[in-house]
Structure 1
């Protein structure tokens, strides 16, 4: 059951003013809109990962299968995000160890979860070279 982790991420983004929606169309868990789908296109594709609070390792929360990313799948996700003008955000939900295997996680336990965000981007060498060329100072 992955609901507590997904809801924790959903609530985190709602409290920051984002409008989260289902992200299955883009290969993620959520997509984030600024004001909502009628006003803007989604800005981020969010991939939710549950993490053990003690070891900070990716973990399986309540018998739910997490995705395990390899570099080729992450590269594909980043290419997809680039082609649809979005950014990929990894949302790490840090779950206290005592809740990982217990069945007693209700709404009150969500206060103990923490959420960390990481934006992942693709490095494109030609763009970096152009940027370096623009940064060169000319003394004429």
Structure 2
């Protein structure tokens, strides 16, 4: 019976939507997926848990897993803030053969999933590059928010 249910789930899965991000940031994420062996997923969400950037291997389709990771990312950084455990903005987790790096920049949160053969130095360099880009984006959105309602 379990095999039948599993087979039904496999057949009813819809493929991940293919979203193409133009510009240098999207190109950087696509190049990372192509160039870093073992890198499976890079996603960046806003404070409302909405994915604003997502690149993944075509065969990586685990929406519930992604949703759970994003929720855990928010929880981890909320817990760190409540415990006043410093200003940690990057967390690396090891789950058997899977590596998860989660990070925060302002109101943006990111999750990177890779397997155990992945070069973690390359992953952390990618995280640093993404965080620099998000700092610029955070500055732009902060500037827009501070000028909102002002007359020119």
Give me the TM-score of the superposition, normalised by structure 1. Answer: 0.23
Query: If you compute each CA radius of gyration, which structure gives the higher value, 1 or 2?
Result: 1
Higher helix share: 2
Give me the TM-score of the superposition, normalised by structure 2. Answer: 0.21
